[in-house]
Structure 1
Amino acid sequence: MTRPVNLYSFPSVDADLAPNLRRYVLDAQNEAVKRHNTFRVAVSGGSLPKVLAKALLADDPASADRADFSKWEIFYADERCVPLTHEDSNHALVKAELLDKIPAALGTPKVFPIDETLLDNPQEAADAYEKTLVSIFAARDSVKLPLFDLLLLGCGPDGHTCSLFPSYPQLRETDAWVLSIEDSPKPPPKRITLSLPVVQHAARTAFVATGAGKKEVLKSIFETEEGRQLPCGLVNEGAGERVSWFCDAAATDGVSYPRRGSVI
């Protein structure tokens, strides 16, 4: 890495982390809109959508400094090959926690879910989602990788992110934008995910990792060579200062890495 990643640690998720994440996301939004009049975001599931909703939905619709969802294009950093209404669907989670709660005054984002007709064939589902990205980000022969304005990701206790799992062959993929997984170590087994080069290429990446259950993996990622080879560690290594971690004190307890106190 040329410059190190940013690690933020906050006393409270609601009182401290969420407002700082809001500022970070709005800065990314405003930069992107100024650059190309749209804000292209890819999100994961887990606890992230709930924290994101806390961060963004308290905005005053009359304020100029607010989320303008009419400019947002929301993609999925990974998705499970289940119906969009299934409890394991990342889209269902994001819809319930965030999309369905956006006030009309904040606008309506464009959302790009997985093709439900291809759930039985993850490779076809991945190919179809890649074609969607190609259609949005430009012709494949003119763009080597899609440039997301922001990725909003989680970190599993094993160091996985998106549906990129430790030691899986998908981590070695260098060409495809979207990959299929047939044997995820956690259910459901069939999934699609952005590839590691796409994740490393994003303009900004924010990891949200909270709770004492994350402190061991964070210690590994930030302190050990083995941890730097985990998927989250590989994102850190590949993207450097474009990566910011939003954590609470419980998750960073005992982690020997310089902390930043605030975005605001």
Structure 2
Amino acid sequence: MSYLEYRFLVRPLQPASDMLMAELGELGFESFVETDNGVLAYVQTDQSPHETDIDSLFVAQHPDFEISWSFTKVEQQNWNAEWEKNFHPISVGNRCRIRAPFHPHENVEFDIVIEPKMSFGTGHHETTRMMLQLLLDENMAGKKVLDMGSGTGVLAILTEMMGADNIMAVDIDVWCFENARENVERNQCKKIQVVQGDAHVLGNEKYDLIIANINRNILLKDIPIYASCLKKAGDLFLSGFYLNDLDMISAKCGEFNLKLEKKIVENDWVAVKYVH
């Protein structure tokens, strides 16, 4: 069995990369690796789509995105080497390390093993990395946590490792839902419930901390729901948008008495903490 590696150059990276991976998954692509300038996507040679199928994708035709691509054949004996070459462990400070199953264990406080498949959230993207930084600065002991748009489940997994007692991880995409469940089990987490859906599945539950690393438009739509689900002294961590969008996000949060307390910026992406 052999694979084809498709190399996609994507501008801007987000949300175009997420949309691209979602659509490619529907075309039979099995695995993805986020890169500094796009996405590597892998599909079995006998399952490869026609080039017109790729060019006709919604994200490829969208006027706000610029996407180009090429492909090469990856022989079966080189498959693992290719995957390993493009998926490097990520360290967040000196306390947290995110690695794939084939990477060796290192002696860090939080060693997280993630196999992303078709899900977002390996720590390679600025938004995930900054959200991890925000979490590492918090005391999670006994907290009830909601992770919206959980992707691989990496943020939810870290909160359990840090002492959170009750965690719900929610993602609308079925492949993210399934992948998060696998990663929760892979990291031997016992306090995370993984749910497929959007903000409407939350009901009347109240949380000490809500995490949402999604895109700007979804955040603006769902901030009222997040606010209603926060306990009185709860915190809201948001990312997935650019620094230029921060005033808009803060204005919406302000409508619900949520005040900006902290922000991290990396390559024009921002992650923020709001408090009641």
Give TM class, smaller chain.
Answer: 0.3 to 0.5
TM-score normalized with structure 1 length: 0.33
TM-score normalized with structure 2 length: 0.32
For the pair shown, the structure with the greater C-alpha radius of gyration is 2
Higher relative contact order (CA 8 A, sep 6+): 1
User: Which protein has the bigger strand share?
Assistant: 2
